[in-house]
Amino acid sequence: MDFNDISLDKFDKLRLEWVSLASKSSAGICELANHYRKRDDCRLVSMHCGSFNFSFRLNYEDEEEDWLIRFPLPGKSMFLDEKVCSEAFLMKYIAQETHIPVPRVIAYQTDAENPTGLGPFIIMTWIDGKKMSDVLKQTDLSGEYEILSPDVNIETLKILYGEMADVLLQLWQLDFNKIGDINEDSMTREPVVNGRPLTRELNELIRVSGVNDCAPRRAYDSSLEYISSLLELQSTHLEKQRNSVYNSQDCREKYATRHLMKAIAMNFIPKDDRGPFKLFCDDLCPQNVIVDDSLQIVGVLDWEFSYTAPSQFAASIPWWLLLRQPHSIVNDEGPDAFFDYFLPKAELFLEEMGKRETNRGLHAHNDSLSSRMRQSIEDRSAWFTLGARMVASVDLVYWDLLDEYCWGPRLSMAHRVHAVTTIPELHKRGEDFVRLKIQHLQEYNKELGVEDDVTYEPERPLELTTEEEPASEVKALSSIAVLSLIWFLRFAWLSQPSQSKDLCWTKFLPV
């Protein structure tokens, strides 16, 4: 799905304005840090621009550790105060409750409390070392993406996979009673889950799609409630991003994808639907982990997109085993090539996790983290979880990693889409939606100054005959129309609060 260039341009101007202000604020930044260091000899050593933050390394001539002051970057980060307060508390909590090495938080403040005018910030200790991904990645690429080097030493890979497994095992020991953002209770100073999950995908939905912040501002009591909200957000995104489709058929395909994700959702709700819930970080990956020369982890950074989540999120095989996002590999090389490369690495990772479980006295059983991760590969729940989290790119995961597993072999994607879009109860609503999206696209292109000839094209009928299709395809096509609607209605009904379950089911049909 394309980015909304109008939205990107707007936010890029905010970013450039902030960078311009920061370039003139070195004295103010040092004065701010001096207040907490109780010294006056601050020196800016280096600057670091990440995906969502801009940081300055600070040095003092007192032989103590260097500091890092980090600002969420306006135009890149959409929840400035909210994310700084949450991340600062979470880093303190992790340091207190686990042995995971995280930077020590010196201070943090909101936008209103920062006299420099640069917005909210966190001051933390600087950690020396090298990124784990730099040890693992292939170095002869253009830099468009990072991918695991095929030449990485197997012993090196075992050590680093084991180190990451140990971090995940420690996080797995933390239990929570709600899904959402973790904050500090103002009265008890204890952790409390009382806000919506601040996810990377929600941030990007606003930044690159031009969609207003439309996620419910609340915590969730069950996995079903939260997954329901994610799937509804996928439908909302498709509707609200003006250039979310290319043409009429592309619209039908994306419309069908979101129906089918809802149709299969009940098969992937974890058995511990109402908890305990687990701490999950969208950005916990080798790119945000610092190791020393002996390959031991000395720092886990960037906890900004962390939240308590359904257990299956934390119990899914990690997506980062190849460094590159799975859907990106699948899109370029196909699912078979992806699995050929991914599954041996997944087996190696699980072997190393099993060793760490033994070392920690966590005896092997069906509910161990390694067992649940192995199960997530076998039952494809890892890919459903990934697809549910990926609001804008769910199509890339669904069609190659989930569709045929759930519905059986298909003759073509067009046949599967047709089975959904021609459901009598949904057909008119679906075609009205296609007309609306083509209108949105025309308005967007006009505002952008792009000439195009995109118009609404009616859905063409498909000839479905047993001569051209295998029996399994005919069976799938005949059942999908019924099952997709039944599963969706059951899913939507169960996801509503009990007092709302007497409402008409058609209220919950997605657009």
Cβ-contact 275, 287 below 8 angstroms: no
pLDDT tens column, 255-309: 999 999 999 998 899 888 999 999 999 999 999 999 999 999 999 999 999 999 9
- Look at residue 487 in the predicted model and tell me its pLDDT: 52
State the pLDDT confidence band at 471, using cuts at 50, 70 and 90: low
368 Ramachandran zone, left/alpha/beta (phi>0; psi -120 to 50): beta
Show Cβ contacts of residue 303 under 8 Å, excluding neighbours closer than 6 positions: 87, 90, 91, 94, 102, 281, 283
Neighbouring CB atoms inside 10 A of 363's CB total 8
What is the mean predicted confidence (pLDDT) over 48-53?
94
3-state secondary structure of 278: strand
Residues in the chain: 511
What is the mean predicted confidence (pLDDT) over 25-33?
96
- Look at residue 277 in the predicted model and tell me its pLDDT: 97
- Look at residue 420 in the predicted model and tell me its pLDDT: 84
- Look at residue 136 in the predicted model and tell me its pLDDT: 97
Structure tokens that stand for 395 in this block: 């199509």
> Which of 378, 372, 375, 373 is closest to 405 using CA atoms?
378
Q: How far apart are CA 129 and CA 296, in angstroms?
A: 10
Residue ranges covered by each domain of the chain: 5-128, 136-177+275-406, 413-508
Q: Read off the amino acid at residue 376.
A: S
Structure tokens that stand for 343 in this block: 């599954």
Among 107-116, 240-249, 440-449, 493-502, the least confident range: 493-502
Among 134-148, 359-373, 478-492, the least confident range: 478-492
- Asked if the model's pLDDT at residue 430 lies above 60, the reply is yes
Q: How far apart are CA 162 and CA 165, in angstroms?
A: 5
Q: Spell out a b/e string for 17-56, using b for 16 or more CB atoms within 10 Å of the CB, else e.
A: ebeeebeebeebbbebbeeebeeeebeeeeeeebebbbbb
pLDDT tens column, 332-378: 999 999 999 999 999 999 999 999 999 988 876 768 999 999 999 99
Beta strands in 61-203 (DSSP E): 67-72, 105-109, 121-125, 130-131, 181-184, 191-195
- Asked if the model's pLDDT at residue 117 lies above 90, the reply is yes
Q: Based on C-alpha coordinates, what's the Rg of the chain?
A: 24
Structure tokens that stand for 347 in this block: 């087996």
- Look at residue 500 in the predicted model and tell me its pLDDT: 46
- Look at residue 181 in the predicted model and tell me its pLDDT: 95
Among 48-57, 339-348, 436-445, 467-476, the least confident range: 467-476
- Look at residue 128 in the predicted model and tell me its pLDDT: 96
What secondary structure does DSSP assign to 359-380, as a single string? HTT----TTSHHHHHHHHHHTS
* Phi, psi torsion values for 501, nearest 5 degrees: -75, -5
pLDDT tens column, 301-331: 999 999 999 999 999 999 999 999 999 999 9
Q: Read off the amino acid at residue 475.
A: K
Q: Cα–chain-centroid distance for residue 393?
A: 10
Q: How far apart are CA 99 and CA 169, in angstroms?
A: 11
Cβ-contact 133, 148 below 8 angstroms: no
What is the mean predicted confidence (pLDDT) over 122-149?
90
> Which of 100, 388, 61, 352 is closest to 230 using CA atoms?
388
For residue 120, what is the DSSP state?
-
3-state secondary structure of 510: coil
pLDDT tens column, 155-183: 999 999 999 999 999 999 999 999 999 99
Beta strands in 250-311 (DSSP E): 278-281, 289-291, 297-300, 306-309
- The CATH classification number of 5-128 equals 3.30.200.20
- Look at residue 63 in the predicted model and tell me its pLDDT: 87
Q: Cα–chain-centroid distance for residue 167?
A: 19
Neighbouring CB atoms inside 10 A of 200's CB total 16
Omega prior to 276 cis, within 30 of 0: yes
- Asked if the model's pLDDT at residue 29 lies above 90, the reply is yes
State the pLDDT confidence band at 421, using cuts at 50, 70 and 90: confident
- Asked if the model's pLDDT at residue 509 lies above 50, the reply is no
- Look at residue 484 in the predicted model and tell me its pLDDT: 53
3-state secondary structure of 399: helix
- Look at residue 499 in the predicted model and tell me its pLDDT: 45
**What is the model's pTM?**
0.91
Among 148-157, 231-240, 352-361, 473-482, the least confident range: 473-482
- Look at residue 281 in the predicted model and tell me its pLDDT: 97
